[in-house]
Copies of this chain bind each other. A is one copy, B any other.
């Protein structure tokens, strides 16, 4: 993503909105299917602990890890102890100053907020489509996670570069509120929320209600307001607090 250009960062974040909304709509075609989230109810032989959802997320991330997904800064995993990449990945210099990308890992908060969202976007009940439900859960989660981590890391680095002294002083003060005041941009947040609600309506305009279950645009807008934007800011603070003086070496 070099050079670190705020317009390009904003464009990438904006482009991820369609993907997130489309993934949520895909999930909403199935019922809540609470069984798929119940520990020990996966139906997998010999698996007495994890839910089908947790198993799917684990299998997916193990596969993705083989393909090198988590070499990319904004792709932060939900699981630990994943296999090493099986392929050589050539990455551009990402311009970030982090010795360990997982210093900025908001996955736990993302997961919790997403599981709260599912009953809001899906019709209640059980349609036995557990496999499809958790498949779409994982794709939605990955899109949300990419947006949050991308925003956190790159926006924070670009804010640092625009005024290094102010950011360093705010970090040194040890008061997170000082840092928050420095990075908050209420006008940008308002614009994002308006745009997300508009897109959520637009992307569902062609869907016939008796054929495709739709999600009220306010639900997605509120999810951005209550979770995606706050988690991104939390990540920005983590980034700035953990920003190192020198670049990590890419092996």
Name A residues whose Cβ lies closer than 8 Å to a Cβ of B. Answer: 11, 14-15, 18-19, 22, 25-26, 29, 42-45, 52, 56, 59-60, 63, 66-69, 86-90, 92, 128, 131, 135, 139, 198-199, 202-203, 205-208, 210-212
**Knowing A67-B56, A88-B43 touch, does A212 contact B18 (C-beta < 8 A)?**
yes
| Interchain CA distance A63-B206 in the complex, whole Å | 33
In the complex the two chains form, is B44's CB within 8 Å of A87's CB?
Answer: yes
A84 → chain B closest CB, angstroms: 10
Given B22, B66, B210, B211, which contacts A22 in the complex, CB threshold below 8 Å? B22
In the complex the two chains form, is A63's CB within 8 Å of B59's CB?
Answer: yes
Given B52, B67, B131, B205, which contacts A131 in the complex, CB threshold below 8 Å? B67
Q: Which residue of chain B has its CB nearest to the CB of A63? A: B59
In the complex the two chains form, is A86's CB within 8 Å of B26's CB?
Answer: no
A162 → chain B closest CB, angstroms: 22
A67 neighbours in B (Cβ, 8 Å): 52, 56, 59, 131, 135
**Knowing A202-B205, A206-B203 touch, does A63 contact B66 (C-beta < 8 A)?**
no
A14 neighbours in B (Cβ, 8 Å): 208, 211-212
A50 → chain B closest CB, angstroms: 11
In the complex the two chains form, is B131's CB within 8 Å of A44's CB?
Answer: no
A22 neighbours in B (Cβ, 8 Å): 18, 22, 26
A171 → chain B closest CB, angstroms: 32
In the complex the two chains form, is A43's CB within 8 Å of B11's CB?
Answer: no
Question: Known pairs A52-B67, A52-B87. 16 more at Cβ < 8 A?
Answer: A11-B210, A14-B211, A15-B29, A15-B211, A15-B212, A18-B22, A22-B26, A43-B87, A44-B86, A56-B67, A59-B63, A59-B66, A63-B63, A67-B131, A92-B128, A203-B206
In the complex the two chains form, is B45's CB within 8 Å of A87's CB?
Answer: yes
| Interchain CA distance A56-B64 in the complex, whole Å | 9
The interface centre, meaning the residue of A42, A90, A128, A212 with most chain B CB atoms within 10 A of its CB, is A212
In the complex the two chains form, is A19's CB within 8 Å of B15's CB?
Answer: no
